[in-house]
Amino acid sequence: MSFKEKGLLVVLSGPSGVGKGTVCKALRKRGTDLQYSISATTRKPREGEIDGVHYFFKTRDQFQQMIDQDKLLEWAEYVGNCYGTPVDYVRDTINAGKDVILEIEVQGALQIKQRFPEACFIFLAPPNLRELKNRIMGRGTETAALIESRMTVAKSEMELMQNYNYVVENDQVDKACDRIEAIVRAEHCRVDRLIEKYKHLEGDDGQ
Ligand SMILES: Nc1nc2c(ncn2[C@@H]2O[C@H](COP(=O)(O)OP(=O)(O)O)[C@@H](O)[C@H]2O)c(=O)[nH]1
Ligand SMILES: Nc1ncnc2c1ncn2[C@@H]1O[C@H](COP(=O)(O)OP(=O)(O)O)[C@@H](O)[C@H]1O
């Protein structure tokens, strides 16, 4: 009996500055067996960011075209820029039995919940809001006005935590990675994922 387990879709989300990028990078460095989707965005590249590596950088028109052609699994406007997940990569990778992790903001995560409820939703939480602000300021990529708007968004984003399956506190990057790896391992054992695999045993007396 052939059973091909599909890959998991892991959605790692949470407020800007909580450390999503940092934690994903650390997971990559550890060699955690996850595939990383590259998002499309209309945001301008930051220093050192490479098109096709960090993001696919798009004009507004190009991004709109992707929406019109249904090429995005989800997309959201965030602090004045659009961000979206190319659907083909996610579909093909999962169908090939590999796990994909998306590092996205909360509106996009909620869209995926509508279309893909079986995905594994992880909310990365800061130890507290003061620490969150420190991290955004410490990164030094935003102006004072942008930091305030990101903090306003962050507070409302925290309230969406209840829509997720898991909350992982990012107090220390290594610990957050350990927790995420444990969640992914547990998700692979979920009955609703594996029940098909064992269906053929019904009526089989082992002879
Ligand atoms: N919905 C959605 N959000 C994304 C996507 N890619 C990145 N983001 C999120 O967009 C927000 C802003 O990203 P960015 O400008 O790179 O800033 P940073 O992640 O805060 O350094 C972050 O919360 C990202 O997780 C995507 O494909 N879809
Ligand atoms: N556990 C942590 N402890 C202390 N600082 C952290 C931690 N995780 C991330 N940071 C720092 O917080 C800032 C924001 O992290 P980043 O990964 O860019 O957040 P996000 O992708 O969620 O917007 C960065 O300067 C990063 O080095």
Cβ atoms < 10 Å from Cβ of 25: 15
Ligand 2, CB cutoff 6 Å, lining residues = 16-22, 135, 138-139, 170, 172-173
- Kindly report the backbone phi and psi dihedral angles of residue 47, in degrees, each rounded to the nearest multiple of 5, phi listed first: -55, 130
DSSP symbols for the chain: ----PPPPEEEEE-STTSSHHHHHHHHHHHT-S-EEPPPEE-SPPPTT--BTTTBEE--HHHHHHHHHTT-EEEEEEETTEEEEEEHHHHHHHHHTT--EEEEE-HHHHHHHHHH-TTSEEEEEE-S-HHHHHHHHHHHT-S-HHHHHHHHHHHHHHHGGGGGSSEEEE-SSHHHHHHHHHHHHHHHHT-HHHHHHHHHTTTT----
* Mean pLDDT of the chain, nearest integer: 92
- Residues 50-99 pLDDT 10s: 999 999 999 999 999 999 999 999 999 988 999 999 999 999 999 999 99
- Residue 19, marked binder: yes
pLDDT at 40: 98
Q: Closest ligand 2 atom, CA of 24?
A: 17
**Distance from C-alpha of 103 to C-alpha of 118, rounded to nearest angstrom:** 17
Q: Are 127 and 169 in contact (CB under 8 A)?
A: yes
- Residues 9-36 pLDDT 10s: 999 999 988 999 999 999 999 999 999 9
Of the chain, the percentage scoring pLDDT greater than 70 comes to 98
What is the complex's ipTM, to 2 decimals?
0.95
Nearest CA to ligand 2 atom 16: 19
Report the residue among 135, 139, 174 best suited for mutation to probe ligand 2: largest number of ligand atoms under 8 A from its CB.
Answer: 135
Token digits for 147?
A: 């930091």
Query: For 179-194, what is the mean pLDDT?
Result: 93
Cβ atoms < 10 Å from Cβ of 150: 19
Measured in Å, residue 22 CA sits from the centre of ligand 1 at: 12
Our answer on whether the CB atom of 121 is closer than 6 Å to any ligand 1 atom is: no
pLDDT-derived band of residue 2, with 50, 70 and 90 as boundaries?
low
Residues in the chain: 207
Whose CA is closest to 13, among 111, 128, 118, 92?
A: 111
**Distance from C-alpha of 9 to C-alpha of 132, rounded to nearest angstrom:** 26
Q: Are 6 and 100 in contact (CB under 8 A)?
A: no
pLDDT-derived band of residue 121, with 50, 70 and 90 as boundaries?
very high
Our answer on whether the CB atom of 43 is closer than 6 Å to any ligand 1 atom is: yes
Domains and CATH numbers, the chain: 9-37+99-199 (3.40.50.300)
pLDDT-derived band of residue 112, with 50, 70 and 90 as boundaries?
very high
- Residue 10, marked binder: no
Judged against a pLDDT cut of 90, whether residue 197 lies above it is answered with no
